[in-house]
Structure 1
Amino acid sequence: MPIHVAPASSPEPPLWPYCGSGAVEVRDPVGCRGRRVDPYGECLAHLADADRAAYLDGLVPGSRLDHRGTPFTGDTLWRLLDRLRDRATGEPRLGAAFFKDAVFSTRAVFNGAVFSARTVFDGAVFSAEADFGGAAFSSYAGFGGAAFSAGAGFGEVTFSGGAVFDEAEFSQEAVFRRTRFTAHAGFRQTRFRGNAVFDEAVVSGEAAYDGAVFAARAEFGRAVLDRAMFRGAAFAGVASFAGSRFAARADFEEAVFAADAGFDRVVFSADGAFTGAAFGARAGFSAAGFEGCAGFDRAVFSGRAGFDGAVFSGRAGFDAAVFAAEAGFSGAVFETAARLGPLTCRGVLDLSGVRFGGPVTIEAATTRLACGRTRWESTAALRLRYATVDLSDAVIDHPVSITAQARPFAGAGETDGAEPVLGDADPGVRMASLRGADAAHLMLQDIDLSGCLLSGTVHLDQLRLEGDCPLAPAPSRPYRRGLLPVWPAVRRTLAEEQHWRAA
């Protein structure tokens, strides 16, 4: 007897010869949209038992299938795949397979199946679990617009042709762990409502996630991606790319990370583009390797941004970047970067232990600049606003100038002349310490030295001061010599004397 499965309703009939079972005038004039099984007048779900058996008996491994729009139960699918089972491998082997707009009302199990020709699941509906674990697609595989209502398992699948999941929707966890895409992998405008797991996935062609929405965790740990496109993607949960490798350009321009974004130990073999990206929580790029250009122009970091130990082999673009908290570059290496900034940082801009391999200009509006043990291997010009600077033990073997910038940096995120995250603080620049630094090649212009610790500074007599670089005034309290009050001479003092007198 026919298998009764509720057909997908639509006012428009499909383009293929369809079953029409269950059609009701006015309410459902189309009825079942399943593709007719030639030479019969019904789809696989609505065939009479004898006709279905005759059709299945005619199938062999590698047969072409066309079940577009067909409703499937687990039993129907199992019987279909069982007839396609390869005796040598024990797994189903399908030829060209067309399941466009098919409806799987129970668990769809394609584990280990071999799809040897073009395969189309575009618009298919999986109402229960969809399991393709270990399957192999030898040609194009299309899942565009498919809807997965339960878990979707594509772990360890091999896609030898293009794989397209554009505009698909995964309502629960989608697993692509250790999946191999040897050509294009398309996830444009795809919605992942559950965890999206791509750990150790390998994409040899373009990986396109432009406009994708990740509502939960996005896990790409130790993945290897060729050209990766995440332009405008939205990550509502934690995004983890730790240990991954991008073999070609990685494009995250205008992407939004609402939770922690982890790119620690990632290798960008070409350009890493994060222009205009927004990081709502922690952004981790510790020990990352940028072998091409690193582009963070106009990026906004709301939480701590950690680039500690990162290596920038090419351009390091942070033009108009805004750091609302700490920006950590401790131990990073800028091999050839000619410019850093102009950027704005509300917290500490930590350049401690950083090595600059070539001439560099640093422009920053930041509350504090930490340059302890920073090494400049060529000339450097620091143009600063708002900053308290610590140069303790800095290695300055070439001319380095530090200048207080009077006006806001052009394009550095200023609003009506005031950097937004710094508010109405004093835009002047103060030196906190030169202890242990060699001042022979150092020039300061318009820097407040009233609180600067200078003991232990090497070649202090060669320090070059230009503009207004005030020291702290001496105490002005009078003291008595005999019966008469004596006022101390007007002079300037070092911060160490201020500390000694206050002790």
Structure 2
Amino acid sequence: MTRTEAPAWPRCGHIDTGEHCRGRTVGAYTLCLAHLDDAGRAAHLASLTPGMDLDHRGTPFTQSLLDELLAPLRDPGSGRARVGDVSFDEARFTGDAELEGIDFSGFCSFASAVFDGNVYVREVRVEGDFRLGAARVAGDVWLDDTYVGGDAWFYGAEVEGAVHFNVREVGRSAVFKDMTCGNAYFSGVRIAGLASFAGAVVDGEAAFDGAVFEEGGDFEKVRIEGRACFDGTRFHRGRTCFDGAIVGGDMLFTEAHFAAEATFDAAEIGGDLSFAGAGFEAGVSFRRTVFRRTARIGPLVCPETVDFSGAVFEVAVTLEAAAPEVRFQQARWASTAALRLRFARVDLSDAVLVSPVTVVGRPRRFVSPETGKIAEPDLIDATVRVTSVRGVDAAFLVLADVDLADCLFVETVHLDQLRLEGRCGLAQPPGGPRWIRRQTLAEEHHWRATRYGGRWTPAPAEAETPDPVVLAPVYRQLRKALEDGRNEPGAADFYYGEMEMRRHAAVSRGERTLLRLYWALSGYGLRAVRALAWLVLAMTATVLAMMLWGLPQSDPDPVSAGTTDGRHVTLTTRKPAPVNPDGPYADRLSGARFEKSLRVVANSVIFRASGQDLTTTGTYVEMTARLVEPALLGLAVLAVRNRVKR
């Protein structure tokens, strides 16, 4: 109802400066309590008894008139007034208004009332609702040592000063939607129902430290210009919502407790966000939240998901969190950031980085200045696992001491500039003799699972399985990233993975055959044992070939023929051709022939002629050995070098 509309109650007949008084008439009188003459007012007050209802809607009051009204209702022994339902809707109070030592057995309503000064409510007990909705107060509102059995209703109230809501308990809900005030203090209050501050505007600071909200709190679209303190606040049962809230200063939740989910979606936070020692029983959401001047967030210990998807960090920030999952999908960092995490599966898909952002797996528990090391109930494995960097510009990304076994790298930009610090392990192939141990991408697991079955990790239901032609450049860029960081041995596995993907993606038969041969002989120049095994096998085969066919039947003796001329003798020596061995193969496998064959083969490995007489077959065997075996030895040396070079 506006001030120009006629009230719904019997209206006072007093006219002042051309306007009718809006006060409710008293009893059989045609005037309100303020405009009754002394005799009429005294008669009316004398008729009052403790416990009666009071209805003085629209009546103008001063403190003295209010005291006169309450005097007949007070118990002479205790000095406390006893009243039933009280309605002061649209009343106007000149100067300060003070209610002290009053027991209301019903409701107490000041809806749309106007107060020119401060409002003091002390040692008051209201069994029903306490209503100050749409009221206007030029000063402060103080509710000290007060109990409200029903709802506390401040909907749309306008308080130019501070609201000191030091109420012991509110039996049902507390509604402060669209309230405006200078500062707000709700320290230690207990609200049994839902506490709603949606749309409230606080021009200064707000304090809710030690408050208890049994059914959660609704702070949707609240605006607090200064800091907001929730130290030690308890949010039980219902969800706590700060969606769309705007807080200009710090938000402090030290030692707070959240029994249900807490959401800060699309909020704007101007200062630090502290959760030191806070307890969570459900997840926390900061989706699309804007952190204006937030330099520090956390430490935040949560048993469920912490979601920063779409969040915007406008200044350099340090974020500390311990949770099973932390999401940064499409998050944006306008400055540097250090993300110190524990236990978490971290999703950075499509995040936007314009300055260095470091994701660090923290091995030690977080520490609170007040309580020391922060407990981490229900969190077991402290390993941080990055699950996706897809769509990220990796030129500004640093990963330190994190597990990359499940990380998706396809579609990452500037992956060759990614920095990996500390221990950053990738997935291993399945056990068994078929697959050698090496670091593999999760996407390779997904692709091989479609070909070789369940021993390889299949792709998640929502993920696509990339082809080898897509994975080869991913391995190549990761290899370059490690080589640029002077970690060439660590890059060896990425080179192996690149060659594996090239082998499977090869189009021409010749390239595929060449890569298969390179893989089989030396594991792409990275498996020294494989190359040495082939070398030993080749040497063994050459020794056997020499013993069976390469060495002649026997070493031929020189035959000399010449003429004499005086005392001078000229000799022409002719060496007969070696004779191929004959007889059973068993007779050829003797110790003497083994020693000669081994000498021939050993010399062939290092490109030296053995000087041994050989058959025609033996000569070709030696030529082949001098070509193949040094190459295998070179591959073995290359593999060792690739594993130890710096």
Task: State the TM-score, normalizing by the size of structure 1.
Answer: 0.77
| Residues 109-135 of structure 1: per-residue CA shift (max 9 Å, x gap) | 211211135433486534421111111
Q: 1:315 aligns with which of 268, 272, 276?
A: 272
Structure 1: any 5+ residue segments left out of the alignment?
1-59, 63-74, 479-486
| Structure with the larger RCO, 1 or 2 (CA within 8 Å, 6+ apart) | 1
Distance 1:163 1:263, change over 3 A: same
Q: CA deviation at 1:304?
A: 0.8
2:274–2:299 contact (8 Å) kept in structure 1: no
Q: CA deviation at 1:79?
A: 6.4
In structure 2, C-alpha distance between the alignment counterparts of 1:93 and 1:318, rounded to whole Å: 61
| Residues 408-430 of structure 1: per-residue CA shift (max 9 Å, x gap) | 01129989x6734334x101100
1:407 aligns with 2:364: yes
Give the alignment of 1:77-96 within 5 angstroms: 78=27, 82=31, 84=33, 86=35
- Other-structure match for 2:161: 205
Give the alignment of 1:67-466 within 5 angstroms: 78=27, 82=31, 84=33, 86=35, 103-118=49-64, 119-120=66-67, 121=70, 124-280=80-236, 281-411=238-368, 419-423=375-379, 425-466=380-421
Distance 1:330 1:80, change over 3 A: same
In structure 2, C-alpha distance between the alignment counterparts of 1:386 and 1:176, rounded to whole Å: 48
Structure 2: any 5+ residue segments left out of the alignment?
1-13, 17-24, 451-646
Question: Match of 2:440, as an amino acid?
Answer: T
Q: 1:495 aligns with which of 417, 442, 458?
A: 442
CA-atom RMSD, angstroms? Answer: 2.9
Q: CA deviation at 1:260?
A: 2.2
Q: CA deviation at 1:211?
A: 4.3
2:367–2:374 contact (8 Å) kept in structure 1: no
| Residues 423-455 of structure 1: per-residue CA shift (max 9 Å, x gap) | 4x1011001111111111111111011111111
In structure 2, C-alpha distance between the alignment counterparts of 1:449 and 1:497, rounded to whole Å: 13
- Other-structure match for 2:497: none
| Residues 46-102 of structure 1: per-residue CA shift (max 9 Å, x gap) | xxxxxxxxxxxxxx999xxxxxxxxxxxx9x73699585649xx9x9999x999xx8
1:201–1:224 contact (8 Å) kept in structure 2: yes
Match of 1:436, SS? coil
| Residues 171-230 of structure 1: per-residue CA shift (max 9 Å, x gap) | 012222111121121112211111111100111122111243111010111111212111
In structure 2, C-alpha distance between the alignment counterparts of 1:103 and 1:341, rounded to whole Å: 57
Match of 2:323, SS? strand
| Residues 240-299 of structure 1: per-residue CA shift (max 9 Å, x gap) | 110110111111111111112000000001221112211113111001001122222222
Distance 1:266 1:493, change over 3 A: same
Work out the number of aligned pairs and report it: 415
2:261–2:282 contact (8 Å) kept in structure 1: yes
- Other-structure match for 2:519: none
Q: CA deviation at 1:162?
A: 2.0
Question: Match of 1:408, as an amino acid?
Answer: R
Distance 1:131 1:211, change over 3 A: closer
1:321–1:413 contact (8 Å) kept in structure 2: no
In structure 1, C-alpha distance between the alignment counterparts of 2:157 and 2:40, rounded to whole Å: 24
In structure 2, C-alpha distance between the alignment counterparts of 1:117 and 1:195, rounded to whole Å: 26
Give the alignment of 1:41-60 within 5 angstroms: none
1:108–1:126 contact (8 Å) kept in structure 2: no
Task: State the TM-score, normalizing by the size of structure 2.
Answer: 0.60
1:151–1:172 contact (8 Å) kept in structure 2: yes
Question: Match of 1:310, as an amino acid?
Answer: A
2:174–2:196 contact (8 Å) kept in structure 1: yes
Q: CA deviation at 1:161?
A: 2.1
Match of 2:367, SS? coil
Distance 1:468 1:152, change over 3 A: same
Match of 1:346, SS? coil
In structure 2, C-alpha distance between the alignment counterparts of 1:453 and 1:399, rounded to whole Å: 20
Q: CA deviation at 1:334?
A: 0.7
2:165–2:189 contact (8 Å) kept in structure 1: yes
| Residues 470-491 of structure 1: per-residue CA shift (max 9 Å, x gap) | 111123344xxxxxxxx33321
Question: Match of 2:218, as an amino acid?
Answer: G
In structure 1, C-alpha distance between the alignment counterparts of 2:265 and 2:351, rounded to whole Å: 17
Match of 1:461, SS? helix
Q: CA deviation at 1:367?
A: 1.0
In structure 1, C-alpha distance between the alignment counterparts of 2:245 and 2:112, rounded to whole Å: 27
- Other-structure match for 1:7: none
2:268–2:289 contact (8 Å) kept in structure 1: yes
Distance 1:412 1:103, change over 3 A: farther
1:264–1:285 contact (8 Å) kept in structure 2: yes
1:209–1:229 contact (8 Å) kept in structure 2: yes
- Other-structure match for 2:21: none
Match of 1:444, SS? strand
2:178–2:200 contact (8 Å) kept in structure 1: yes
2:366–2:374 contact (8 Å) kept in structure 1: no
Distance 1:219 1:403, change over 3 A: same
Question: Match of 1:492, as an amino acid?
Answer: Q
Distance 1:85 1:428, change over 3 A: closer
Q: Which has the larger radius of gyration?
A: 2
Q: CA deviation at 1:498?
A: 1.2
In structure 1, C-alpha distance between the alignment counterparts of 2:389 and 2:355, rounded to whole Å: 16
| Residues 346-382 of structure 1: per-residue CA shift (max 9 Å, x gap) | 1111111111111111111111100001111111111
Question: Match of 1:502, as an amino acid?
Answer: A
1:327–1:349 contact (8 Å) kept in structure 2: yes
In structure 1, C-alpha distance between the alignment counterparts of 2:211 and 2:176, rounded to whole Å: 16
- Other-structure match for 1:66: none
More strand by share: 1
Distance 1:103 1:166, change over 3 A: farther
Distance 1:438 1:124, change over 3 A: same
Q: CA deviation at 1:103?
A: 4.8
Match of 1:496, SS? helix
1:145–1:166 contact (8 Å) kept in structure 2: yes
Question: Match of 1:366, as an amino acid?
Answer: A
In structure 2, C-alpha distance between the alignment counterparts of 1:298 and 1:179, rounded to whole Å: 35
Distance 1:452 1:499, change over 3 A: same
1:358–1:379 contact (8 Å) kept in structure 2: yes
Match of 1:164, SS? strand
Match of 1:501, SS? helix
Question: Match of 1:133, as an amino acid?
Answer: D
More helix by share: 2
